[in-house]
Each structure stands twice: as C-alpha cells, then as structure tokens.
Chains A and B, each alone.
Chain A
Amino acid sequence: MTSVKEELISEVESEAQVMQIVQAALEGIDMDALTSMTPGLPQVARQNAINSLLGSKKLVIQQAPGGLLRLKVNTSQQIAGTEEEQVIYGLIEESKTRGIWIKELRDGSGLNQLQLRKTLKSLETKKLIKTIKAVGTTKKCYIVFDLEPDMSLTGGTFYSDQQLDSELINTLISVCGSYASSRRKHAIESNPNNIQMQRESSYIRPQEIAQFITEKRVLNVPLSLEDLERILEVAVLDGTIERRADGKIRACAPRSSISPLVSVPCAVCPVVEDCRPGYVISPQSCDYMKNWLAEL
C-alpha cells in the first residue's frame, strides 16, 4: 500500500516538477534538456508526467526549426474545434501582434495547403482570427481577432488603410510650424527690448506641441511623442523650425529671398535642353521670354 501511495504522490510531484521546468523555459524545452534537468525522476515517471500534461493540454509539443521537438506551456486558450484548428490557432496566437504569414503557418503546423486553407477559413468564419496586410507589401498575415496589429505592420499612426496618410502628415507639419511661429511671435512681442529673452522664450519643448495637438483635437487618436518627433524631424528638414542641442525647437525666421536665377523663365523652361540660337526653339523666338518681358 505504501509503495503504491508513494508512486501516486511522486506522479503528482513529477508532473509539477516538469511543469515548473517547462514554464521556466520560454522558448520551450526539448526532451534531452528536460531529462538532464530532472535527474530525480525515473524515465517512466517522466514520460507519464509529460503524457498526462499533454493529455490535459497543459503542455504542447512543437516542432522547432531544426526539426527538434520541444515541449511548451500551452498558452492558447481552449477553442472548440478540430485538432488542426487548435494547432493553427495556437500558432497564430503565439505570433501575438506581429501576425504570422501563411508560409510560416504551413511550416509550423505541417499541414498541407488544402487542409491549411480549410482550417484558416473556418477559423475566420468563427471570428477567431483575421487577416491583415502589412504596409508596403502584399503579404497577408493572420492575427488573433481581438488583437490590434503591431506598429511595424500598420506603419503607426500615420497610416490608414495601409496607405501613408500624407494629408494628415502635412496638416501636422503645418500645425507644428504655425504653433512654433505663433509662440515665436508672442515671445518677440512680450519682450520687445530684449533679444536674448526673445530667443530664449521662443524655444519650446516638443511636449508643448503634443499637448496643444491633443487639446485642439487635431487627431482622433493620441499622438505619441515618438510620432511627434518624426513630424518635427521632417519640419526641421523643411526649414520651418530649427532644433537646439537640448531638443527644444523654435520657428525659423522666414527666409524670403529667392535665387535670382528663378526669376528668369529658362529656370523652369520645359524645353531648355533643346534651346539653341537660330533654331525652332531659340531665345529669339521664345514665348516664355516674351511673356516674361511683357508682364513687367
């Protein structure tokens, strides 16, 4: 009797031990490693423990890229469905917000194309998973239905329908520019006699702009500081604002002067390459020149 009881206790214990080890290994653990980590368990007891854990769906076996079988904690929630559906769902769930590509699903599950399609379709109709398209590619990715796709897939705040929202970006750039320039103007007006103060108080922190944008509800979604930094970076390139070493920004003084070359029609002449004196297109017969001189 006692020996049987001992046996029973150790079965529960060994299950707990195996579970603990597998839980500790995030990437899963293979058999050899498990064996070496549980020297106290006899071979049979370990196998029984694993089998019972697999049977109760606390653990799953997965094929690692090298073909090695690994034990992993089963994180996927139970879904009603066939074995295939469960495997596929598990894989998709594991990819979290990054989504998983159909090729990776096939490799991971070992199902053939037909089965895979069928399974995916049924999962989709059950509203358990959804497909999304990554920005810039035509690759279809699968993701768990309730999850929001990752930034790298959607491209972040500035994308809508997998397209860069240029309108939004331009608006934001001009909002940043005009806010900075209004602050600069204000700074100059409030300190009419002190250039030093004018300069100092026309510099603003990016956070202030972020706050302004949130307050004025320019965007429906909250604008993260990183997104704003990207916008400001572009505005700096455009020359509307400048950035100081400590990260503060201010509007640049408008530089109105344009190159005198631009005033001559040749600068934007579409046929300038073919222009030769004495030919069909020539400075003598040039209509652009004529209009330019007539306009003055």
Chain B
Amino acid sequence: MGGGKYETQMCVIIVEDIFGKIVSKVLETLLNESCQLATLVYKLKGQIKTVLIKKSLSTLINFGFVTFSLDTNNRTTYVADSEHIQYMISAPRACLIAKTLYGPSAESICIELISQGRLTISETIRRIKATDETAEFSNIKHSFEELVKSNFLIRVPAVESEIHGCPQFITSFDPFALPTAIMEKKEEKVDESTDTASTSRKRKADSTPSDADAGQYWKINWSRFNGYLRDELIIDYLIGGGSTATMTHMNHKKGEEEDGDRTQYITQNVAHLMFKMNEVRAKPLSMDSITVSITDLQRLVRENELNLSKPDIEFACQILVDESDGIVRKVGESNGGLYTVDIRHAIRQICRHHCESLIREQFEGRAIRVMRLLENRHFLDEEQVEKLSMMSGKEAREMLYALVEEGYVFNKPVGRSNDFQPARTFYLYYVDLPRTVRGLVEYTCKLVRNLVIRQRHERTENKQLLDKDANVQPIIENIRASDQLDDASKLAQIAEVEEMYLPGPDRAQLARFRKAQATLLAAQDQSIRVLLAFKLFLASGQS
C-alpha cells in the first residue's frame, strides 16, 4: 500500500495524534515496508517492547489501519492501509453526514464506531446511553438500522477458521444483514444499561449471556461515505460552491425561496435527485455514468415529496446540460428524456479546477491560458505557445519554464538527429494531468501533515490555558446549577470566577486558540476532500 513520502508522514502524524508515539512508530515501520511480526520485532529491537508491539498491532488492526494475510510461504504478513488512516480526517464530516441524513442518534452511532473502530450493536447502544442518558433505545436502534440499510455501516466478517495461525474470515455472507437477536435482547439490555459501570464489569466477566449479538461487529463503511462525499463534490462543482445543501436539505427549501432563486432551487434538487438515483443502483465508488430518465426523476420527486413539476424537471435538466461543461448530457428521448451524468468527466473537471486554482495563485492568470492551450492542442513548441497565447516570446518562455518546474506542464525532446543536440531538437510541451495530480496528491498530503502538526503545536502551546479552562468550567457549571442563587448573583459569581482564573488576555488568547483550531480543522477537512477527488481521478485511470 505504498504512498509517497509525505503520504506516509501524514498517516504517521494522524495515528500519532490518536494513539501516541509507540503505535505510530509501529505503523511507520509497516508503512515503510509490509512485514511479518518477527521482522517487525527485529526492526524495532531496542526501541519498543515486543508486548507493546503486539498491543499496537492489535489496536491498529482493530481500527482497520493494518490488515494481515498469509503470504506464499504461509507466514502472516501485516500491511498498513494508508487510505484507511486518511479517513480519520474526514470522520467529522462523516458524522455530519449521518446527522443530516438520519438525525442525532445516527451521529452518536458514527462517533462511537469511529472512536472504537468496531463494535457490536448492543455495545454501541450501551456506550451511547452511557454518555447521553436521554438517548432512547428504540431511537438508536432505528438509526442503526437506517444506517445499515443505506450501507453506511458494514458487518465485519466473522472468523471462520485458522490456517497456519492466521485467522480466515467468512467470505460469503450478507454484510448488511442485521442480527435479529438484538430485538430479543431488548428488555434485558435496557435493564443492564441503566448502570453502565456494573454492565461493563459484568461484560468483562461473562459476556456471552448478556449479548446475543456478541461477535457480530460493525464498522463504518468508508467507501459508502466516500461515495457520498464524491457526489457532494460533484454537486458542489455543478451548482457552484454556494450550495451546502445535502440531499436531505432539499425539502426544507421549498416555498421560502423567491422566484429568482427558484431556478437555483430546482436545479439543485434535480442534481441531487440524479445522484440519489445512483445510490440505490450502483456500487458506492463505481465510476460508471449515472443514467436517469425524466420518469425516474418524477418518481423520486413523489417519493421525496418535493414541490417539482415535470416542466420544472425538464427545465433543470436543460440547464444542467447547458451549463455543466459536458458533465450532464442528454442521451435519448425514451422515458420522457434520458440524461447521463458523466462521473469520470466530472472528477476530471474537478481536478482541473483545483490545478488551475493553484496555478492562478502561484503564477498568474496567463499561466492558466498556457495550460489550457496545451491541454487543447496537446503538443506545442515554444514558438507555437507564444503565438497562440498572444504573449511575447520572453513571457511565454518564462511561463513555460515555471510551469515545468512546478510540474504542471512537461516537455518532450524530439531530436532531429539522434544525438539530441539542443540546437537540433524540438522541445514539445504538453499537459499530463494524471502525472500532475500524482504530484499534487503528495503535495496535499504534505499540506495536511503540516496542518495536523500545527494544530498539535497550538494545543501544546496553549496547554496551560486549556488546563485552567478545564478547571474553571466545572466551577461555572456548578454555579449555574446551584439553586440557592438568583440569576443576577449567578452571573456576578461566574464573572468573578472567570476573572480570577482566566484574566482578560488569557480569555482572548483562548478564543483565538479555539478559532485557530476550527480553521485548521476546516482546512484539513477541505484538503482531504480535494485529496479524495485527486485519488478518485487517479483510480479512474483516465489520461
């Protein structure tokens, strides 16, 4: 699972943030080279104790960061999965998606599953109840079912047998089949979960009788979430940045929009519906184009109770066809009109957009001109670029050299004689988007690495302040909760406590810190989204 240097560094940093130095050291070794346990122990000799290595490995496996399999010599080889580690950065977004689609209890389920790696349904419910007393069992269970039904959660395959000390998993089973036992255990579990401390002790001592679904572990189905993220990316690109609406938000919008915005509203919704169509049909990350007919869309409109008529849909489709640079196309007249969404093309356009954005920032607008020119005309020499881009010879040359240096444009020497003497050689410039994107993946990884490091740095810088704040908060909470005081004196006391523990400058610093953390997190999330687009583009194998 080799990534580049910065991808490895990024993964190590992410894991270090979660599990600390020892686990990240083990992971780093595995990322550098997949190996057996013995080799791993040998490599880390004198640095980490064997027991700790084993513990780290089991942690990493539990979270899906490391997988194992038998190699040809029947030895168990451990392989690090760098993709999976990167998903941790999009975890907050995954939780948000779950929340917007299926409500707060779905969010709690995702939080638990992400923070624990894998859990049985009963355990998940118990854990949620432990943190939130008000959570209702039936509610959580319903959310869980919904998440599974929409494939956002997936069963971890059970161990079937063991060959040469390596567990073999069941290969043929329905990964989205919910256990029925959870229903039967309902009453029992509610009783247990009233006292969490005793339950966990009980579970440790004797787990089989308490859980009917013990051993049936569930985890986040990241490829489904990524599919959703991808659709979001494409819709963002189609509708143009402004839309933050997820697919469930459509319903709320109707009526309150003005007439001018109605076009926007219609197009957005129809675009969402096109992707919704695909959800039930295809594999989450399949690159196949989505094909929808007007009739399909009408059916979906009815199912989702949207305020859209047939002319509205046709109108929106027309707009999408006209304005999407060929991402949405009309392919036929059957079923009231057949439209297709070209996912590959969309991903390519998104990657191009990011490239161009970066170029504009690093150079100037005219560099994009050169880039697009080369993309349209494929191979051009300096003079042709100069003529066609209407730039002076010097400017064009400097621009080309700068672009070559940054890896957006490449050149190919075509020699007139086979000694490739410069005077008798044509240098043809061209754009190779996959190659550029591969470079950008590394670059984005470095960016994310820096962001994570900086975030951690900010945390350690302000550690004292944070500790203080952690001390003050319970006191303030106590004052708020106390019954003896009236509101005014409460406020006065709170102010007094705050002033004593956290004077003005400290509080300002704390606010600044919180803001910086939010910014850094948001930047991480956005960058990972871009990284996803880049990786999808590379995976789609287009040139």
A residues with CB within 8 A of B: 136, 158, 163-164, 166, 169, 195-196, 199, 230-231, 233-234, 237-239, 253, 255-264, 266-268, 272, 275, 277, 282-284, 286, 289, 292-294, 296
A163 contact from B368, B389, B392, B457, Cβ within 8 A: B392
Q: Closest 7 A-B residue pairs measured CB to CB? A: A257-B241, A259-B357, A260-B526, A283-B450, A164-B392, A293-B516, A283-B453
Q: B132 an interface residue at 8 Å Cβ cutoff?
A: no
Q: Please, which residue of chain A has its CB at the minimum distance from the CB of B375? A: A237
Q: Mark B354-398, 1 if CB is under 8 A from A, else 0.
A: 100110111001101100110010000000000011111101000
Query: Which residues of chain B are near A163, meaning CB under 8 Å?
Result: 392
- Contact A283/B392 with A256-B240, A261-B444, A261-B447 known, Cβ cut-off 8 Å: no
CA distance A283 to B451 in the complex (A): 8
Q: Please, which residue of chain A has its CB at the minimum distance from the CB of B355? A: A259
CA distance A255 to B529 in the complex (A): 19
- Contact A238/B454 with A195-B263, A199-B322, A293-B520 known, Cβ cut-off 8 Å: no
B512 and A286 contact, CB distance less than 8 A:
no
How distant is A55 from chain B, measured CB to nearest CB, in Å?
49
Q: Please, which residue of chain B has its CB at the minimum distance from the CB of A256? A: B241
B453 contact from A263, A272, A277, Cβ within 8 A: A277
CA distance A163 to B353 in the complex (A): 33
Q: Please, which residue of chain B has its CB at the minimum distance from the CB of A286? A: B454
Query: Which residues of chain A are near B516, meaning CB under 8 Å?
Result: 293, 296
Q: B319 an interface residue at 8 Å Cβ cutoff?
A: yes
A264 and B263 contact, CB distance less than 8 A:
no
How distant is A13 from chain B, measured CB to nearest CB, in Å?
55
CA distance A266 to B453 in the complex (A): 13
Q: Mark B487-503, 1 if CB is under 8 A from A, else 0.
A: 00000000000000000
CA distance A169 to B454 in the complex (A): 45
Q: Please, which residue of chain B has its CB at the minimum distance from the CB of A258? A: B357
A260 and B388 contact, CB distance less than 8 A:
no
CA distance A260 to B526 in the complex (A): 6
Q: B315 an interface residue at 8 Å Cβ cutoff?
A: yes
Q: Please, which residue of chain B has its CB at the minimum distance from the CB of A268? A: B361
Q: B323 an interface residue at 8 Å Cβ cutoff?
A: yes
Query: Which residues of chain A are near B529, meaning CB under 8 Å?
Result: 260
Q: Mark B10-29, 1 if CB is under 8 A from A, else 0.
A: 00000000000000000000
B527 contact from A166, A260, A284, A292, Cβ within 8 A: A260
Q: B478 an interface residue at 8 Å Cβ cutoff?
A: no
- Contact A289/B527 with A230-B390, A234-B389 known, Cβ cut-off 8 Å: no
B residues with CB within 8 A of A: 236, 240-241, 263, 315, 318-319, 322-323, 353-354, 357-358, 360-362, 365-366, 368-369, 372-373, 376, 388-393, 395, 444, 446-447, 449-451, 453-454, 457-458, 512, 515-516, 519-520, 523, 526-527, 529-530
B388 and A233 contact, CB distance less than 8 A:
yes
B451 and A264 contact, CB distance less than 8 A:
yes
- Contact A259/B354 with A267-B361, A283-B454, A293-B516 known, Cβ cut-off 8 Å: yes
CA distance A237 to B391 in the complex (A): 13
B358 and A262 contact, CB distance less than 8 A:
yes
Query: Which residues of chain A are near B523, meaning CB under 8 Å?
Result: 260, 263-264
B240 and A257 contact, CB distance less than 8 A:
yes
Q: Please, which residue of chain B has its CB at the minimum distance from the CB of A233? A: B388
- Contact A264/B447 with A237-B369, A293-B519, A296-B515 known, Cβ cut-off 8 Å: yes
Query: Which residues of chain B are near A282, meaning CB under 8 Å?
Result: 453
B391 and A164 contact, CB distance less than 8 A:
yes
Query: Which residues of chain B are near A237, meaning CB under 8 Å?
Result: 368-369, 372-373, 376, 389
Query: Which residues of chain A are near B357, meaning CB under 8 Å?
Result: 258-259, 261-262
CA distance A202 to B389 in the complex (A): 26
How distant is A107 from chain B, measured CB to nearest CB, in Å?
24
A267 and B530 contact, CB distance less than 8 A:
no
- Contact A260/B362 with A166-B391, A166-B395, A230-B390 known, Cβ cut-off 8 Å: no
A238 and B390 contact, CB distance less than 8 A:
no
Can you offer 6 A-B residue contacts whose CB atoms are under 8 A? A136-B393, A238-B368, A268-B361, A277-B449, A283-B450, A296-B519
CA distance A293 to B361 in the complex (A): 19
Query: Which residues of chain A are near B361, meaning CB under 8 Å?
Result: 258, 262, 267-268
B358 and A195 contact, CB distance less than 8 A:
no
CA distance A259 to B529 in the complex (A): 11
Query: Which residues of chain B are near A263, meaning CB under 8 Å?
Result: 523, 526
CA distance A174 to B214 in the complex (A): 69
Query: Which residues of chain A are near B240, meaning CB under 8 Å?
Result: 253, 255-257
Query: Which residues of chain A are near B450, meaning CB under 8 Å?
Result: 266, 275, 283, 286, 289
B362 and A268 contact, CB distance less than 8 A:
yes
A261 and B454 contact, CB distance less than 8 A:
no
CA distance A233 to B520 in the complex (A): 41
How distant is B376 from chain A, measured CB to nearest CB, in Å?
8
CA distance A257 to B526 in the complex (A): 13
Q: Please, which residue of chain A has its CB at the minimum distance from the CB of B263? A: A195
Query: Which residues of chain A are near B323, meaning CB under 8 Å?
Result: 253
Query: Which residues of chain A are near B454, meaning CB under 8 Å?
Result: 283-284, 286, 289
A238 and B369 contact, CB distance less than 8 A:
yes
How distant is B380 from chain A, measured CB to nearest CB, in Å?
12
CA distance A177 to B69 in the complex (A): 60
B368 and A239 contact, CB distance less than 8 A:
yes
How distant is B291 from chain A, measured CB to nearest CB, in Å?
24
CA distance A296 to B446 in the complex (A): 23
CA distance A266 to B454 in the complex (A): 12
Q: Please, which residue of chain B has its CB at the minimum distance from the CB of A235? A: B369
- Contact A169/B241 with A237-B372, A267-B358 known, Cβ cut-off 8 Å: no
Q: Please, which residue of chain B has its CB at the minimum distance from the CB of A278? A: B453
Query: Which residues of chain A are near B318, meaning CB under 8 Å?
Result: 195-196
Which of B358, B454, B516, B519 has most A Cβ within 10 Å? B454
CA distance A233 to B377 in the complex (A): 13
Q: Please, which residue of chain A has its CB at the minimum distance from the CB of B389? A: A234
Query: Which residues of chain A are near B444, meaning CB under 8 Å?
Result: 261
Query: Which residues of chain B are near A296, meaning CB under 8 Å?
Result: 515-516, 519
CA distance A259 to B516 in the complex (A): 20
B390 and A234 contact, CB distance less than 8 A:
yes
Query: Which residues of chain A are near B393, meaning CB under 8 Å?
Result: 136, 164
B519 and A261 contact, CB distance less than 8 A:
no
Query: Which residues of chain A are near B451, meaning CB under 8 Å?
Result: 264, 283
Q: List 16 additional contacts besides A257-B353, A262-B361, A283-B451; criterion CB under 8 Å.
A: A166-B392, A166-B395, A169-B390, A195-B315, A195-B319, A196-B318, A239-B372, A256-B241, A259-B530, A261-B354, A262-B357, A264-B451, A277-B449, A282-B453, A283-B449, A289-B454
